[in-house]
Chains A and B, each alone.
Chain A
Amino acid sequence: QKEVEQNSGPLSVPEGAIASLNCTYSDRGSQSFFWYRQYSGKSPELIMFIYSNGDKEDGRFTAQLNKASQYVSLLIRDSQPSDSATYLCAGWGYRGTASKLTFGTGTRLQVTL
Chain B
Amino acid sequence: DAGVTQSPTHLIKTRGQQVTLRCSPKSGHDTVSWYQQALGQGPQFIFQYYEEEERQRGNFPDRFSGHQFPNYSSELNVNALLLGDSALYLCASSSWTTGGDTQYFGPGTRLTVL
Contacts and interface: CB of A to CB of B under 8 A. Distances in A.
Nearest to B90: A43
Contacts of A96: 55-56
Contacts of B45: 100-102
From B50, B90, B103, name the one whose CB has the most chain A CB atoms within 10 angstroms: B103
B48 A44 contact: no
B72 interface: no
A46 B104 CA distance: 7
Interface residues of A, number: 26
A35 interface: no
A101 B56 CA distance: 11
Contacts of A100: 33, 45, 48, 56, 58
A31 B101 contact: yes
B55 A88 contact: no
Interface stretch (A10-18, A68-76, A103-111): A103-111
Given A43-B108, A49-B102, A98 B90 contact: no
A36 B42 CA distance: 11
Interface string A72-100: 00000000000000001010100111111
Interface of B: 33, 35, 40-45, 48, 50, 55-56, 58, 88, 90, 92, 94, 99-108
Interface of A: 4, 31-32, 34, 36, 42-46, 49, 88, 90, 92, 95-106
